[in-house]
Amino acid sequence: MSDDKHADIAAMSFEQALAELEAIVSKLEKGEIGLEDSIDAYERGAKLKDHCEAKLKDAQLKVERIKLGPDGAVSAEPFDPAS
C-alpha cells in the first residue's frame, strides 16, 4: 500500500485520526471485514497510530509549565514529563 493512499492522514486532527483508528480496531476485532480488507485496514491503522503519536509528541513539546519563583516572578519552562 503506497503512502499516496494514506496522504489524507497528514491533514487529520488528532481527534479525527483517533476516531478512525478506533473504528478500524472495532471492525478488525469483530471480524466484519475480509482478509485483504483487514490487511489494508491494519496498514491504515498503523499509519493513523503513527500520526496520533506524532501529534501527541508535538503537543507535549508545546506545553510549558508555569512556575512561580521565590521572588514572586512568573516564568515558563518547557514541559518535562520526568518532573
Residue reference for cell 499509519: 47
Distances (CA, A) of 5 to 1, 29, 40, 44, 62: 7, 23, 10, 9, 30
3-class DSSP assignment, residue 5? helix
Position 83 scores a pLDDT of 63
Q: Is the pLDDT of residue 56 over 80?
A: yes
Position 1 scores a pLDDT of 43
Report the DSSP beta bridge partners of residue 68.
74
> Rounded mean pLDDT of 44-58?
96
